[in-house]
Structure 1
Amino acid sequence: MKSIKKLTWLLILTVNIASAQNRYELNSGWVCAPIGSVKVNGEKVSATSWSVKGWMPATVPGTVLTTLLDNKKVPDPFYGMNNEKIPDIYRTGRDHYTYWFVKEFTEKAPQGNEQVWLQFRGVNYSCDIFLNGKKVNNARHHGMFLRQNYNITRLLNSSGPNRLAVIVYPIDPVGNPNGGQGGDGTIARNVSHQYVAGWDWIQPMRDRNTGIWDKVYIERTGAVNIKNPHVVTQVPGVRKPEGTQLPVQIVASAELENPTSTKKDGVLQYEIDGQIVKQAVSLEPGAVKEVALPAFQFNNPKLWWPSGYGPQNLYATRFQFLEDGQTVADEEKVTVGVREIQTEWNAITRSKQVSVNGQKIFIKGGNWIISDAMLRFTDQRFDAEVRYHRDMNLNLIRVWGGALIERPEFFNACDRYGMLVMQDFWMSGDCNGRWVDPMKSEDQWTRRNYPNDHSLFLQSVADQVKLVRNHPSLAIWCGGNEITPPEDILVPMRDSILPALDGTRWFVDYSNSDEMSYNALGGNGDGPYGIQNPVTFWEHRTFPFNSEVGSVGVGDYASLKRFMPMENMQVPQYPSNKVDSVWDYHKYIGYNQYIDPYGAAKDVPDFTKKAQLVNYDQYRALAEGFSNRMWEWYTGFIIWKTQNPWTALRGQMYDYYLDPNACLFGLRNGSEPLHVMCNPTDGMVTIVNNSFEEKRNMMLAVRFYELSGKDSFVTQVFTYVEPSSAKRILSVKELMNKLAKDKGVFLSLQLLNEKKQVISDNFYWWPDATGNYSGLQSMAPATLKVKATPMGKGKIEVTLANAANNPVAFFNRVTLLDAKKKDRVLPVFYSDNYFSVVPGGEKKIIVEYDGAITPAISVEGWNVSSQEIPVNN
C-alpha cells in the first residue's frame, strides 16, 4: 500500500538493519605485471596458490603510467621535457602498456540470501576479470565510460582470502601523436577520451591512460539490490532565496534487482527531511525492475541556488528496500538539492538564457578539461579546484568533450559550491571530422562516423547519465565539442535516452550550436583565443552565449620553477617569437607585446611579474565587458580555459600545483555579483547587479591617483541599480585622458553601503598617451605596514596599511609560507590578491588553508619590497 508517513524514532528502532548495505573500496594492496612477463592464463593468475611474488606495487585507481611513475620506473612527465623520455604506445605497441592487476581481499562467505557484488566505476579500455580461478565477465568488457557490476556471491572462497585478477588492454587504435588535436584523430574511434593523443594545450599521455582508472568496490547486500536511484525536484513559479517557500514536488524512482531464485516482496522507500515516501514492490526471481515511488509534495523546502544568487542547501536522502517491509536488504544514499533548471530563447541577444527556480542567471563560466591528465583524482583536489572557481565569482563549469563525464566527487564539490555544470559527451570537431585537417589520417567522411562502435557509445551515455543525474549542479548536457554526434547517436540520445533517464535539463546538440547562441557573425561560434587588447572585450561584439573565449595564464617565477629546469629559464623574445624549447613544449602563447609597455623584461622573474599585470587586466576586462552588455548583447560567457590538468603555460587561473596567478583575482574582481567598473574606451562608470534584488542607497566614490600618490577627487554620488542589470552612471573619459597623458594614472572606484562599508572596490591603472606605462616604470617605493593575526584553525587575517605620505602601494601579492621550509603552502584561498593600497588606506585579506604548519606571510608588490611577517598569536 502506498503511504507517506512522518519518520519517528520508534520507526528507526523497529527496522532491522542487520543486512543493510556494506560497501568498501579496493584502493590499496594491488600489484601488477606487464602481459609479456606473465605466461599463464587468468584462471591461474587469480588462484590464491599462484605466486605473485616480485610483482610491482600498483596504483588503483590509476593508470599504468601512474604506477610506473610511483615506482620510479619513468621520470615525471610533467617536468621539463621528461615526457619525451617515456616510450609512446604508438611506437612500442599495445602490449607494452597491457598489464595484469591483482588484489587479494578478505570477504566473509555470504549467509542465507546475502549477495556480494564487485563493481568497477571505470576501466580504460578493455578488460577480462577473474576471481579465485574463475572468469567473472562472460565477454570482454570494452569502453572507458561504462561501469561494471558483477554478482560474485558464488565465486567467493568459503574461508580465507580471495584473489581478484584483471588484465587491462589499451585502446585500439592508440592514435599517432603527430602534434595535431588528438594526434591523427584515430583516438576517437574508441569510446574514450581524446586529449591523451595530444592537443594544443597538452603533450600526449604515453600510455593513453590505460588502467583501472576509477574506483573499485565490494558491496554486500541482502536479497535485493538497489541500483541507480533517481530524484527529480520540480520547483514551479519564480522563487527567491529568502522567505517561506511554496511547495515543490519530488518524483523519485530506483532500479531493483533480485538475483535470487525466489520471489521477493517488500517496500521501497526514501526519507528526506524527516519524511518517508513508500511503495510496495514484488520482484520475480532474477528480475531487474525500475520502481517509481509516489509523487511527494515537499512543503517549505530550502532551495539550492547557483553561487552568488543564494545558498546551496542540500538534503541527505536515503533509499532503502525493506524485505517483507521489515528487514533492510539494501540502502543507497543520495544528496538532493531542491531546484529546477529552465531555459528560454532571448530574442534580444538571440541566445539561450538559463534560469534556476524561475530566476534568470547570467552565466559566467570556465571551461574545465580534467583535474589531472593522468587521472590522479582526489576529493581534496576536486574541492580546491571547484572552490577556486567559486572564488572567481563564476557560476558554471563546462566539462569539455575531449575528456570525460566528470566523477561524482567533482559534482559533489560543485553541489557544495554552487557551480552549475555543462557536461559534454565525448566528441570533438577536431577529431570527429568538422574540419579538413592535414594532420588527420582519415578523411572527414570517415571521421564524421567515429567512434567505431555506436552501440557502445549509447550504452555508455545511458550509464553515465545514471551515474551523475542526481546532482543539482548538473544543468546542461552537450552532444559534443564543436560538433554533433553522428545522427544515429544524436537522435536516440536526444529523443530517447536523455528524456527517459533524465528529462529535466537542457540538451544542446553541440557546444557552439546556433540553438545555444546564434552565430550571426560567422566563424566557429566561439573565441577569440589568446591575449586580447582589453578594449576588445568592451567594444567588440562576439557570440551572445560564448562557449569559449580567452587563453593566457603564465604563472609567476615560483610557479615556473616547479616544472622548468633553470637552464630553460629564458625570456621569450618578441617580435621574433624565439621561445625556449621547454616553454614551447609546455604550450606557451606569446604575449610580450602586452608585457613590453611595462618595460622590456630583464629576466624571467621580471617577465612573470609583468605577466601578472597583463593577466589581471585581461580577465577583469573580459568579465566586465561581457557583464556591461548583459541581456543586451549577451546571456553568458565561458572562458577557455580556467585550469590545466598538467604543467601548461596557457589558459589557467591557477597552475597544475594549485597556485593561483593574477588571472584568478582579475576575474574574481571583474565577476563580482555587485560590481563597479569603467569602460576604457568611453570612460563610462557602470554598476552591474547580478542579484535578484534592487540595490539602493549606495554611494559611488570616484578618485584618480597620480603616480606620486596625489588624490584627485572626482565625485561621490548616491545611486541605485535594478535587479539583474547594468546601469551606466557617468563618464570620466575627459579627466582620465588629461591626467594620464604624461605618465599614466590610477582610477579608484568604490561602492559603499549605508554603513559606509566598501561593497565593491576596483582599481585601474591607465597608460600614458603613447600606450606605455611609463609612470609605473619609475614609481617611487612604498612601505607597507603588515600585521598577520590568526582567526582560528587554518584562517589568518592580514592587515596592510599604507602611510598617507606614500605613493600608491601598487599590485601586491600576499603569500602563505611554511615558516620552517620557506615554501608556499598549496592550495590556499585568499579573499583578494594582486591588490593596491592607496595613500592613507588599509586593506584586509583573509587567508584560509588546511594543514598543520607554522605559518608565515610574505608580501611583495610592484613598488613594495618583499617582506616576511610571522603570524602573531
Structure 2
Amino acid sequence: MLEATPLGDGWILRHETAALPAVVPGCVHTDLLAAGVIPDPFLGRNETEVAWVGRRDWTYERDLRAAADGAEQTDLVFEGLDTVAEVLLDGRLLGRVRNMHRSHRFDVTGLSGRLSVRFVSAYAEAEAVRGKLGERPAAYAEPFPYIRKMACSFGWDWGPTLVTAGIWRPVRLEHWSTARIARVRPLVTVEPGLGRLELVVDIERTRVEAPLTVEATVGGVRARASVDGTEGVVRLDVPSPRLWWPRGYGEQALYDVELTLLHGDEPLDVWRRRIGFRSVELDRSPDAHGTGFTVVVNGERLFARGVNWIPDDVFPSRVTRARYRARLGQAADAGVDLVRVWGGGIYESEDFYDACDELGLLVWQDFPFACAAYPEEQPLRGEVEAEARENVVRLMPHPSLVLWNGNNENLWGFRDWDWEPRLAGESWGEGYYLGVMPRVVAELDPTRPYTAGSPWSGSWDRHPNDPAHGTHHSWEVWNRDDYTRYRDEVPRFMAEFGWQAPPAHATLRRALPDEVLAPDSPGMLHHQKAEDGNGKLRRGLERHFAFPEGDFDRWHYLTQVNQARAVAAGIEHWRSHWPVCAGTVLWQLNDCWPVTSWAAIDGDGREKPLYHELRRLYADRLLTLQVREQELVLAAVNQGAGAWEAAVRLRRMSVEGDVLGEVSVPMAAERRAVGLVGVPEELAPVGPKEFLVADVGELRALYFPAPDREIPYPRPEFEVDLVPGGVRVTALTLVRDLLLQADRLAPGARADRGLVTLLPGEQVTIGVRGWETPVLETAHSALYCVEPSR
C-alpha cells in the first residue's frame, strides 16, 4: 500500500554563510521575518527595505533518507516550488523546475543524503527569458509575463512588490510497489432521476505484467473495472441523488468517493475525494440584446452575485484552511454566490475549493494570465500546458467549480492598449486562450464550460469588451467618470467594476503606527498603489461632497461612503435589468495586505461599509428606485424561490422631514424575476430639497435627485444610548448614511451593519461584538454621518 511521509520538518534556509530555521510550507520572506532579519514589509514603507530579497538566490536544505522496507519505488513529491530551482541530493541533480503552479515528482528509490533545493531569483529567470524571447507589452514594468509564477508577487495596483521564493506547498516521500494512482478524472453528469460518475484512472507501474483492477464506491453504489495498461475506467450510477446547489437555491449535497487500486485482493493505493451531482451550462445564445452570458445550474438560470478573489496574502503559504473558511464565510454572509479566482494569482489550495463546496459558492477559475502579452515559445509553452493539465484534473472533483476562463484582460489589451503594433507579429498568448486551454478543458473536463477570457465578446468580429456580448469590464467609470455613469449601459455580464476606499481606521493605525494620518502622508501614499489613486478618489468625492480639507477622519468616512454608493449605483441598476444582465462580479472581495483599494474586506480582515452594503445589494430581495426613459420606477428584484407580492409605501419628503405626498401601491415580482412599479408623477421629488422613500416591510429604497453637495441638509441631530450588545441611535432629524466605525471602539470590535439612513423619529440598534468595556462617549466619537456642505 502506498505510504506517504511528510517532510515539513528539519529544513534550514541558507544564503551565503547564514543558516536559518525554515518552515515548510513557507517562503524566504516569512523565514527571514521569523528570524528577525527583515522588518514586517506590511508596516510603514518597509516594503522597499526588503526589495533585495527577491533579487537573491536561496537554498533550502535538510537530511533525507528515502529507503523504505519492502517498497519498490520511492518518490520525492513537491506540491509546489516557487519558482525556479535545482533539486539535488548529495550534489546529484534530481531535476530542474520553473513553474510555481504545478507539482514535481522525483525518483529517489534507495537514495539518502543531503537534500538541497537551490532557488534562483525569479527576477533573474524572468529577465533571462525576456532577453531570449523579446519584450512584450504589459500593464506594469515588472517582468511577470516571462515566468510561471503568481503575477501579483511583482506588485499590482493594490499589492506590494514582494517577489517570493520557497517551498510554498507541502513536500513528502511516497513509498509504493507494483503500481500507484497517478491521477483520477471524475466526470459527473446528471440525468432525470440519475447521477452518473465516471472515474478515469491513470496508473503508473513498476511491473508491467501485473493484472490490476480499480474499485470505487459512491452513495452506496460500488463498481469495479480492470486496468488496461495504464488506464482504468469505473462507471457508477446513483439513483435519485441529492443535487448540489449554489447557496440560496438548495442544499450543498456532497458525496464521498473512494477508489482503490488493487493487485488481486491486495490494495495498492487509494484516492478519496468529495463530489457533488449537479449540471452546469453557460448560455451564450444570441438574442435581441446581443449575446448572453448566463450561468445555468441544474436547469436554473442564475443572476450571479459575484466577487473577484485575489490571493488573501502576498505570502500564500500563510493562508490556512481556517482563514479560507473565514474569508469565504464572509462572502457567503454578504449574499455572494460566485467567486472569481482572478488570473494574476494562483490556482488556490484544496482548502479554498472545499470551503466553496460546503458554502455553496460557485467558482469561476481563471487560468493564471493577467494584463500582459505572454510569449508562447519555449520554455513557457510546455510549462503552460503541463500546469493546465494538472490543475484541471486536480480541481475537477469540486462541484463548486463551474467555469474555466482563459485569462484576465489580455484579449482586450491586444485590441485596445496599443499592443498589436508593438508586438509586430510576435506571440502574445492568443494561442493559449483560443488553442491550448480550450483543448485541454475539452479533453480532460468536458462537463464544464470554458470561455477564452474576461472580458470577451466571443468573437474577434466584435470588440472584446463590447457590453452587448459576453463579459464586460467597466473601468472608465472609476478612472474618468462619475459613478452615476454605471447606469448608462446594461452589459450582458459585468465581470469587473469597482471603486476605491481606504481600509478601516484600526488597520491603518496598525500599518502606519507612527504616522500622522493624512490622505497624502508618506505611508498613506505608499499604501496606495493605483496610478493617481488619490486623485481619482478626490475627483470622485468632489462630484458629490465638499472635499474635507485637513480633516482626515472626515475624508476617511466620506471615501468609504462614496465606495458603497458607487457599487450600489451599479449593482442596483444591473440587477434591475435581469435577465438581460445576468451577473455582477465586484472588484474585489479581499486584500493581500493593508492598502487603499477596491476591496470590501481590508487586508486585516475588517469589513468596510461596502461589505455591509453588499449584504443589501446581494440579498434575494432588493428594492431600488431607477430612472427609466426619464420616468421614475420602483424595481422589485426577486431572486427568491417564491413570488413576491406586497404593498409599497411611497413617500415624497423634504430634507427637513416633512411628508409632501404619500401613497400605497401594489407590487409583484415572480420568482427569479424583476417587477416594475411606476412612481406616480406627483410623488417624484423636485429639486435638491426633496427625496423619495419606498418601503416594503424591512426593505427600503431611497432616491435623491441631487448630489449631496447641493442638498441643504439640516445639521444632523440624534441621541445615542448603550444597550446590551450594541448601540442604539434615535434620529431627531434626517440622518443620512450613519456609520458606526466599530474598530474605533476597540481594534477587535465588529459592527453588524454599515451605512443606514434614518428619517426623523426612526431608531436603529447597531450590534457590536468585541467591545469589552462600552463607554457612551466613545460610541459618540465613533459615529459618523453626512453633514451639510460647508
Q: TM-score, normalised by structure 1?
A: 0.77
Query: Which residue is 2:420 aligned to?
Result: none
Does the residue aligned with 1:154 lie in a helix, a strand or coil? coil
- The verdict on how the C-alpha distance between 1:842 and 1:584 changes in structure 2, with shifts beyond 3 A counting, is closer
Checking the alignment, whether the CA contact within 8 Å between 1:709 and 1:839 is kept in structure 2 is: yes
Q: Residue type matched to 1:173 in 2?
A: E
Q: Residue type matched to 1:150 in 2?
A: F
- The verdict on how the C-alpha distance between 1:770 and 1:492 changes in structure 2, with shifts beyond 3 A counting, is closer
Q: Within the alignment, does 1:501 sit opposite 2:444 as a pair?
A: yes
Query: Which residue is 2:417 aligned to?
Result: none
Q: CA–CA distance in 2 between the matches of 1:410 and 1:315?
A: 18
Query: Which residue is 1:231 aligned to?
Result: 186
Checking the alignment, whether the CA contact within 8 Å between 2:624 and 2:636 is kept in structure 1 is: yes
Q: CA–CA distance in 2 between the matches of 1:450 and 1:858?
A: 65
Q: CA–CA distance in 2 between the matches of 1:629 and 1:475?
A: 23
Checking the alignment, whether the CA contact within 8 Å between 1:181 and 1:200 is kept in structure 2 is: no
Checking the alignment, whether the CA contact within 8 Å between 2:72 and 2:175 is kept in structure 1 is: yes
Q: CA–CA distance in 2 between the matches of 1:290 and 1:858?
A: 69
- The verdict on how the C-alpha distance between 1:113 and 1:60 changes in structure 2, with shifts beyond 3 A counting, is closer
Q: Which runs of 5+ in 1 are unaligned?
A: 1-18, 38-53, 157-161, 238-245, 284-288, 433-446, 753-757, 789-797, 868-873
Alignment of 1:589-604 (within 5 A): 589=534, 590-596=536-542, 597-601=544-548, 602-604=550-552
Q: CA–CA distance in 1 between the matches of 2:360 and 2:394?
A: 19
Pick from 267, 280, 289 the counterpart of residue 328 of structure 1: 267
Q: Within the alignment, does 1:198 sit opposite 2:149 as a pair?
A: no
Q: CA–CA distance in 1 between the matches of 2:126 and 2:711?
A: 50
- The verdict on how the C-alpha distance between 1:292 and 1:858 changes in structure 2, with shifts beyond 3 A counting, is farther
Pick from 58, 65, 89 the counterpart of residue 99 of structure 1: 58
Query: Which residue is 1:477 aligned to?
Result: 404
Q: Residue type matched to 1:202 in 2?
A: G
CA drift of 1:379 comes to: 1.3
Query: Which residue is 1:301 aligned to?
Result: 241
Query: Which residue is 1:397 aligned to?
Result: 339
Checking the alignment, whether the CA contact within 8 Å between 1:236 and 1:248 is kept in structure 2 is: yes
Checking the alignment, whether the CA contact within 8 Å between 1:185 and 1:431 is kept in structure 2 is: no
Does the residue aligned with 2:29 lie in a helix, a strand or coil? helix
Q: CA–CA distance in 2 between the matches of 1:491 and 1:595?
A: 41
Q: Residue type matched to 1:414 in 2?
A: C
Does the residue aligned with 1:553 lie in a helix, a strand or coil? coil
Q: Within the alignment, does 1:623 sit opposite 2:571 as a pair?
A: yes
Q: Within the alignment, does 1:741 sit opposite 2:688 as a pair?
A: yes
Pick from 79, 89, 98 the counterpart of residue 121 of structure 1: 79
Q: Residue type matched to 1:582 in 2?
A: H
CA drift of 1:220 comes to: 4.6
Does the residue aligned with 1:666 lie in a helix, a strand or coil? helix
Q: CA–CA distance in 2 between the matches of 1:114 and 1:700?
A: 75
Checking the alignment, whether the CA contact within 8 Å between 2:454 and 2:495 is kept in structure 1 is: yes
CA drift of 1:470 comes to: 1.5
Pick from 731, 749, 765 the counterpart of residue 679 of structure 2: 731
CA drift of 1:661 comes to: 0.3
- The verdict on how the C-alpha distance between 1:195 and 1:769 changes in structure 2, with shifts beyond 3 A counting, is closer
Pick from 98, 106, 115 the counterpart of residue 142 of structure 1: 98
Query: Which residue is 1:510 aligned to?
Result: 453
Q: Within the alignment, does 1:353 sit opposite 2:269 as a pair?
A: no
CA drift of 1:175 comes to: 5.0
Q: Within the alignment, does 1:378 sit opposite 2:320 as a pair?
A: yes
Alignment of 1:304-703 (within 5 A): 304-325=244-265, 327-346=266-285, 347-349=287-289, 350-375=291-316, 376-428=318-370, 430-432=371-373, 449=376, 452-483=379-410, 486=429, 488-490=431-433, 492-494=435-437, 496-515=439-458, 519-520=465-466, 525-528=472-475, 529-530=477-478, 533-537=482-486, 539-541=487-489, 543-572=491-520, 581-582=525-526, 584=528, 588-589=533-534, 590-596=536-542, 597-601=544-548, 602-632=550-580, 634-679=581-626, 682-691=631-640, 693-703=641-651
Checking the alignment, whether the CA contact within 8 Å between 2:215 and 2:225 is kept in structure 1 is: yes
- The verdict on how the C-alpha distance between 1:451 and 1:780 changes in structure 2, with shifts beyond 3 A counting, is farther
- The verdict on how the C-alpha distance between 1:677 and 1:32 changes in structure 2, with shifts beyond 3 A counting, is same
- The verdict on how the C-alpha distance between 1:201 and 1:806 changes in structure 2, with shifts beyond 3 A counting, is closer
Query: Which residue is 1:188 aligned to?
Result: 145
Q: CA–CA distance in 2 between the matches of 1:857 and 1:118?
A: 56
Q: Residue type matched to 1:103 in 2?
A: R
Instruction: Give the superposed CA RMSD.
Output: 3.7
Pick from 712, 715, 718 the counterpart of residue 781 of structure 1: 718
- The verdict on how the C-alpha distance between 1:477 and 1:801 changes in structure 2, with shifts beyond 3 A counting, is same
Checking the alignment, whether the CA contact within 8 Å between 1:182 and 1:196 is kept in structure 2 is: no
Q: CA–CA distance in 2 between the matches of 1:857 and 1:746?
A: 36
Checking the alignment, whether the CA contact within 8 Å between 1:125 and 1:211 is kept in structure 2 is: yes
Q: CA–CA distance in 2 between the matches of 1:784 and 1:733?
A: 40
1:345-385 per-position Cα deviation (integer Å, ceiling 9, x unaligned) = 24244232221111111123222221211223211222222
Does the residue aligned with 1:204 lie in a helix, a strand or coil? coil
Q: Residue type matched to 1:329 in 2?
A: L
Q: Residue type matched to 1:67 in 2?
A: D
Q: Within the alignment, does 1:78 sit opposite 2:42 as a pair?
A: yes
Query: Which residue is 1:3 aligned to?
Result: none
- The verdict on how the C-alpha distance between 1:803 and 1:842 changes in structure 2, with shifts beyond 3 A counting, is closer
The aligned length equals: 745
Q: CA–CA distance in 2 between the matches of 1:169 and 1:511?
A: 33
Q: Within the alignment, does 1:762 sit opposite 2:720 as a pair?
A: no
Query: Which residue is 1:49 aligned to?
Result: none
CA drift of 1:686 comes to: 1.0
Alignment of 1:721-870 (within 5 A): 721-731=669-679, 735=683, 737-738=685-686, 741-742=688-689, 745=691, 747=693, 749-750=695-696, 752=697, 758=698, 761-762=699-700, 764=702, 766=704, 771-775=709-713, 778-784=715-721, 786-788=723-725, 801=728, 811-813=738-740, 815=742, 822-824=746-748, 832-836=753-757, 866=782
Checking the alignment, whether the CA contact within 8 Å between 1:684 and 1:731 is kept in structure 2 is: yes
Checking the alignment, whether the CA contact within 8 Å between 2:740 and 2:782 is kept in structure 1 is: no
Query: Which residue is 1:45 aligned to?
Result: none
Query: Which residue is 1:273 aligned to?
Result: 219
- The verdict on how the C-alpha distance between 1:774 and 1:809 changes in structure 2, with shifts beyond 3 A counting, is closer
Q: Residue type matched to 2:227 in 1?
A: V
1:792-839 per-position Cα deviation (integer Å, ceiling 9, x unaligned) = xxxxxx5x655586765852337489x9xx4315xx6x6643334556
Checking the alignment, whether the CA contact within 8 Å between 1:269 and 1:278 is kept in structure 2 is: yes
CA drift of 1:687 comes to: 0.6
Q: CA–CA distance in 1 between the matches of 2:575 and 2:776?
A: 32
Checking the alignment, whether the CA contact within 8 Å between 2:496 and 2:584 is kept in structure 1 is: yes
Percent of pairs identical after alignment? 20
Q: Residue type matched to 1:333 in 2?
A: R
Checking the alignment, whether the CA contact within 8 Å between 1:809 and 1:864 is kept in structure 2 is: no
Q: CA–CA distance in 2 between the matches of 1:674 and 1:734?
A: 27
1:768-794 per-position Cα deviation (integer Å, ceiling 9, x unaligned) = 587535416x11122245222xxxxxx
Query: Which residue is 2:787 aligned to?
Result: none
Q: CA–CA distance in 2 between the matches of 1:496 and 1:71?
A: 46
Does the residue aligned with 1:331 lie in a helix, a strand or coil? strand
1:222-274 per-position Cα deviation (integer Å, ceiling 9, x unaligned) = 6432232222221246xxxxxxxx22222222222223x47433431222222
Q: CA–CA distance in 2 between the matches of 1:672 and 1:58?
A: 45
- The verdict on how the C-alpha distance between 1:725 and 1:568 changes in structure 2, with shifts beyond 3 A counting, is same
Q: Please, which moves more after superposition, 524-533 or 379-388?
A: 524-533
Q: Residue type matched to 1:354 in 2?
A: V
Q: CA–CA distance in 2 between the matches of 1:410 and 1:366?
A: 15
Checking the alignment, whether the CA contact within 8 Å between 1:701 and 1:715 is kept in structure 2 is: yes
Q: CA–CA distance in 2 between the matches of 1:268 and 1:292?
A: 8
Pick from 27, 30, 40 the counterpart of residue 8 of structure 2: 27
Does the residue aligned with 1:665 lie in a helix, a strand or coil? helix
CA drift of 1:656 comes to: 0.8
Does the residue aligned with 2:345 lie in a helix, a strand or coil? coil
Does the residue aligned with 2:252 lie in a helix, a strand or coil? coil
